[in-house]
């Protein structure tokens, strides 16, 4: 099996995973601390999806650290196949969550004046949270492509 | 290069491409004929994204028909690499468009009573259009994975 940038058990892979975790956690933090998020299903779904991404990526961070410390090779068919399925499911859910929240945000700011009219909504916090979710999804997408490439090139 | 289900220049590939085209066209048709869609950016973006998908997939339908008629092999590196980039860009945009519209639709129907209050909005048409967009994205996702598998397994 080839060893690419972002492969499991490599430093580049660990950095990607830590990035996914951190940005997803920031996204949850900003959204959860924004007032009025719970009245919109898309924002609640964003928190759930980013929560799943934090769980998944933090698990892989621990596995990468373990592999780097003990110098073990994670490039086996079963491990990489498991990673690729998890990565793709999480990446699809994250993109869907970030996009649905962005769609609602556009409605709030451009199509209507809900953000201006309702001062209790923390629209800036929503926007920052959605931006972080997109960054987190982008890093996860890179990992997913690397994993898929590894599986396909066996 | 392997020949898989949905490969370019094969009948299964042609059927997938026709499916993508037809469902994307249905999605555009239902959305464009629904009253009040133009006031929501996410719905306009859905039409644009599905339009791009119709253009892309119909181009590949023509190429597949040509290859099937003339019995030409489309499994060359350059052609499949071009397909994989186009497929992934279109698939990502389609999922983002369908999800953002779905987020807005949830806001209209579950979080608020905009659909009940505003009789000029064709909410049922919006929902049918979004469902077709998701089906079209799903078929495109299958094609994208097959293409990526072909490129990676060269």
What's the number of domains chain B is made of?
Answer: 1
| B1 part of a folded domain | no
Arithmetic mean of pLDDT, A19-35: 96
| B2 part of a folded domain | no
Among the partner residues B96, B107, B151, nearest to A104 by beta-carbon distance: B107
Arithmetic mean of pLDDT, B123-127: 95
Is the confidence at residue B154, as pLDDT, over 80? no
| Residues of chain A above pLDDT 90, percent | 68
Among the partner residues B95, B103, B107, nearest to A95 by beta-carbon distance: B95
Write phi, then psi, for A121 (nearest 5 degrees): -85, 130
Among the partner residues A95, A99, A110, nearest to B41 by beta-carbon distance: A110
SS3 B34: coil
Contacts of A117 in chain B (CB under 8 A): none
| A3 part of a folded domain | no
Arithmetic mean of pLDDT, A41-48: 96
| A6 part of a folded domain | no
Tell me whether residues B100 and A102 touch, CB distance under 8 A.
Answer: yes
Burial of B37: CB neighbours in 10 Å, binned 0-12, 13-18, 19+: buried
Tell me whether residues B102 and A100 touch, CB distance under 8 A.
Answer: yes
Write the secondary structure of chain A as one string of H (helix), E (strand) and C (coil). CCCCCCCCCCHHHHHHHHHHHHHHHHHHHHHHCCCCHHHCHHHHHHHHHHHHHHHHHHHHHHHHHHHHHHCCCCCCHHHHHHHHHHHHHHHHHHHHHHHHHHHHHHHHHHHCCHHHHCCCCCHHHHHHHHHHHHHHHHHHHHHHHHHHHHHHCC
Is the confidence at residue B16, as pLDDT, over 80? yes
| B140 part of a folded domain | yes
> How much is the pLDDT for B136?
97
Q: Using alpha carbons, select from A32, A36, A57 the residue that is nearest to residue A135.
A: A57
Is the confidence at residue B40, as pLDDT, over 90? yes
Q: Using alpha carbons, select from B103, B90, B115, B87 the residue that is nearest to residue B43.
A: B103
| B141 part of a folded domain | yes
Is the confidence at residue A75, as pLDDT, over 80? no
A78 touches chain B (CB under 8 A): no
Cβ-contact A134, A98 below 8 angstroms = yes
Is the confidence at residue A22, as pLDDT, over 90? yes
Tell me whether residues B153 and A148 touch, CB distance under 8 A.
Answer: no
> How much is the pLDDT for B150?
85
Distance CA A34, CA A68 (A): 38
A134 touches chain B (CB under 8 A): no
User: Please, which residues 21-50 of chain A have a Cβ atom closer than 8 Å to chain B?
Assistant: 39-42, 45
* Confidence category of residue B153, pLDDT binned at 50, 70, 90: confident
Arithmetic mean of pLDDT, A120-128: 93
Of residues B4 and A23, more confidence is placed in: A23
| A5 part of a folded domain | no
Tens-digit pLDDT profile for residues B52-71: 999 999 999 999 999 889 88
> How much is the pLDDT for B61?
94
As for the ipTM of the complex, it is 0.91
Can you give the residue range of the structural domain that contains A42? 11-152
Distance CA B26, CA A125 (A): 37
Distance CA A27, CA A30 (A): 5
| A123 part of a folded domain | yes
Tell me whether residues B148 and A152 touch, CB distance under 8 A.
Answer: yes
B109 touches chain A (CB under 8 A): no
Arithmetic mean of pLDDT, A122-138: 96
> How much is the pLDDT for B18?
96
Tens-digit pLDDT profile for residues A95-107: 999 999 999 999 9
> How much is the pLDDT for A33?
95
> How much is the pLDDT for A74?
75
Is the confidence at residue A1, as pLDDT, over 70? no
Helices (H), B33-113: 41-70, 77-106
Tens-digit pLDDT profile for residues B79-115: 888 889 999 999 999 999 999 999 999 999 999 999 9
């Amino acid at each position: 099996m080839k060893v690419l940038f972002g492969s499991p058990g490599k430093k580049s892979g660990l950095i990607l995973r830590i990035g996914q975790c951190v940005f997803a956690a920031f996204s949850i933090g900003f959204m959860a601390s924004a007032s009025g998020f719970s009245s919109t299903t898309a924002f609640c779904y964003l928190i759930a999806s980013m929560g799943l991404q934090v769980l998944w990526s933090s698990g892989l961070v621990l596995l990468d650290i373990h592999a780097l410390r003990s110098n073990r090779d994670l490039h086996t068919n079963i491990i990489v196949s498991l990673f690729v399925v998890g990565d793709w499911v999480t990446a699809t859910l994250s993109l869907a969550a970030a996009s649905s929240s962005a769609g609602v945000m556009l409605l709030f700011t451009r199509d209507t004046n809900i953000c201006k009219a309702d001062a209790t909504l923390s629209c800036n916090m929503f926007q920052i949270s959605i931006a972080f979710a997109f960054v987190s999804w982008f890093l996860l997408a890179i990992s997913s492509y690397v994993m898929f490439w590894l599986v396909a090139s066996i």
